[in-house]
Amino acid sequence: MKQTKKIQKEFAHLMSQERRDIYIVLEDMDFHWPAKDIETVLRLWNEGISINYISKQLERDVDEISLLLVELAERHRGKVFRRNRGVLVSSEINLKKISQYYKRLLRFLDKYPNGYTLFETWYGIDFVWDEREVLRFEEMWNKGISFQEISAVLKRNEIDCLLVLFDRVRKRSIHPREGGLDGWKKQPEKEQKKFKNAG
């Protein structure tokens, strides 16, 4: 809690009482998925195919596929399985050990004859950001602050922050960093002390 308050104080100059322009994250992306395409994504994922190849096969943005996998993993457990090399070419998942997988998958897809829209049923997801919040997110990310801490400082849930992270990377406003989501926790001890003593 003390650390969060310190960070809030350090980045307070990026916020004000007056709201600036409203910013909609990921407004250029298509969140609607036909059921047959979801089945294809999961089949190729289970076969160990890279996410870039899946993107080309379906002619869909690679980030749209990533968010589909995130949603299915978080909201519909048992549909997406962890792979040994993540989004890269991986070993095939042995579904023989996972009883009734495709029957359950088809029952799930049968519920959406008109297609499935990502984040439609999530409670509390907000694509609307204040422009200053976005700038604050960028600065904290570039400072190496952990993703969890950024979420706490901005008082936004982690899915909201994940969406803005996708958005800013897509627009090349921020870049992948050493330590990934953990950020400064992965930096050398000297850098951690410097950050903690800042402000």
Judge whether 122 lies within some domain. Answer: no
Judge whether 14 lies within some domain. Answer: yes
User: For 77-111, what is each residue's pLDDT tens digit?
Assistant: 888 888 888 888 888 888 776 768 888 888 999 99
**Whether residue 56 sits in one domain with residue 43:** yes
Tell me the C-alpha distance between 6 and 15, whole Å. Answer: 15
Given 76, 93, 117, which residue is the final one in a domain? Answer: 117
Given 82, 98, 117, which residue is the final one in a domain? Answer: 117
**Whether residue 131 sits in one domain with residue 191:** yes
User: For 25-74, what is each residue's pLDDT tens digit?
Assistant: 999 999 999 999 999 999 999 999 999 999 999 999 999 999 999 999 98
* pLDDT at 180 > cutoff 80: yes
Given 68, 93, 117, which residue is the final one in a domain? Answer: 117
List the domain range (segments joined by +) for residue 52.
32-117
**Whether residue 141 sits in one domain with residue 109:** no
To the question of pTM greater than 0.85 for the whole model, the response is no
User: For 129-168, what is each residue's pLDDT tens digit?
Assistant: 999 999 999 999 999 999 999 999 999 999 999 999 999 9
**Whether residue 37 sits in one domain with residue 17:** no
